[in-house]
Amino acid sequence: MSQLVPPHGADTLKPLLLEGDARTAEQKRAAGLPQITLSSREVGDVIMLGIGGFTPLSGFMGQADWQGVCDNMKMASGLFWPIPITLSVSEESAKALSLNDEVALFDGERGEIIATLRVTEKYRIDKAHECQQVFRTTDPSHPGVKMVMEQGEVNLAGPVKVLSDGGFPQKYPGLYHTPAEARAMFEAKGWKTVAAFQTRNPMHRSHEHLVKIAIEVCDGVLIHSLLGKLKPGDIPAEVRSEAISVLLDNYFVKDTVVQSGYPLDMRYAGPREALLHALFRQNYGCSHLIVGRDHAGVGDFYGPFDAQQIFDEIPADALHTRPLKIDWTFWSYRTGGMASARTCPGDAKDHLLISGTKLRKMLSEGDDVPLEFSRPEVLAVLRKYYEGLAEHEKVKVELKGHSAR
């Protein structure tokens, strides 16, 4: 009997990826079906459905589920879910389909059919309403809003049969793990409580501090990097993984941390995305999610601790995975080490606030990076990456919102 937290809304994980003969047969059948080309976000959602990361979903949400998730963070069944998982198509594509038709879901970037869908519902949505509820804004400069407003006019709902892992195990060997594989690793280590650390950046000194706090209160930590698409200027997963590896090798006790990755794109939904991060980390077996400053935020669309506060607004039984809330962290010149606003006396002038955006800006512009900001082994990996960028690959990094403090 596992002593890890149970999967969300189920006794066991519910991966939708077919295997063996069933997969081969469905692949042959899918080749003759009408095709729908997926967006990058939808590809990531299909892969998560396939590996059981979105347990207990059986496919893309219908209108009642979409409405309930947007308005109350509940599906029609009453199951807690914070962000709609939907598939959209153009008006023309929707007209060509009837209910109970089956379609092949095509990943245009990889050039392969990754799933089949049986259409149980076709419906229109109020995109602005979804954006206001999920992102708390309809501002088109918000990348999540832009994504929703540009999607197709009609949503398709229905169960899916997943045919591909998206090539993630081959692209990220030793880094990419399914929820079942992560749970097996934790159980082999004898871990009962596991904190997940969500990151789309290499780890600087504040990140290191957060993870070490979690190690003190949990059996271990899963450093869980996003492997899907990021916004321009973010650091690729391969570089990020190498930078995290040298940090772990030099500054962490062995077997207290597991580094892994997952296949989603960022939605930049701030508080709602923090809840989604906790939900699928529950499926990975994590009892806690580290929630620091501006979790999953972008610009100044959210307050620095909105993602912490939202956990106090949901029902106590909504999730088994609990937030590990940590205040502003910084290098304190007064105490000579990392500290937080709850532990360190002194004025703001004694604090060096650290952020991934600040680090990327300094590195991209060739500026010196204080050792209080990042470990030298990590900086060596990142400098090598930035020095190797061609001129057209360089993106100007701007400090906005909380990162500008």
Find the DSSP H helices in 7-157: 20-30, 40-51, 63-72, 91-95, 127-135, 143-149
Find the DSSP H helices in 197-236: 205-217
**What pLDDT, in 10s, does the model give residues 383-400?**
999 988 888 777 777 765
Helices (H) and strands (E) in the chain, counts: 14, 15
CA-CA distance, 71 to 69, in Å (whole number)?
6
Q: Which of 200, 240, 267, 375 is catalytic?
A: 200
**What pLDDT, in 10s, does the model give residues 140-193?**
999 999 999 999 999 999 999 999 999 999 999 999 999 999 999 999 999 999
Helix or strand or coil: residue 184? helix
Helix or strand or coil: residue 203? coil
**What pLDDT, in 10s, does the model give residues 295-340?**
999 888 999 999 999 999 999 999 999 999 998 889 999 889 999 9
Q: Which domains does the chain have, with CATH numbers?
A: 20-166 (3.10.400.10), 172-262+268-404 (3.40.50.620)
Using CB atoms within 10 A of its CB, is residue 354 exposed (0-12), middle (13-18) or buried (19+)? buried
Backbone φ and ψ for 199, nearest 5 degrees, come out as -150, 145
Q: Which of 41, 183, 201, 240 is catalytic?
A: 201
Q: What is the mean pLDDT of the chain?
A: 94
Peptide bond before residue 56 is cis, with ω within 30 degrees of 0? yes
Structure tokens, 224: 């869980």
Look up residue 4 and give its amino acid.
L
Whether 201 is a known active-site residue: answer yes
Find the DSSP H helices in 91-178: 91-95, 127-135, 143-149, 168-171
Element (H, E) at 238: helix 237-251
Whether 136 is a known active-site residue: answer no
Q: By the 8 A CB rule, do 247 and 221 touch?
A: no
Structure tokens, 184: 């097996």
Q: How much is the pTM?
A: 0.94
Name, of 203-217, 358-372, 382-396, the range with top average pLDDT. Answer: 203-217
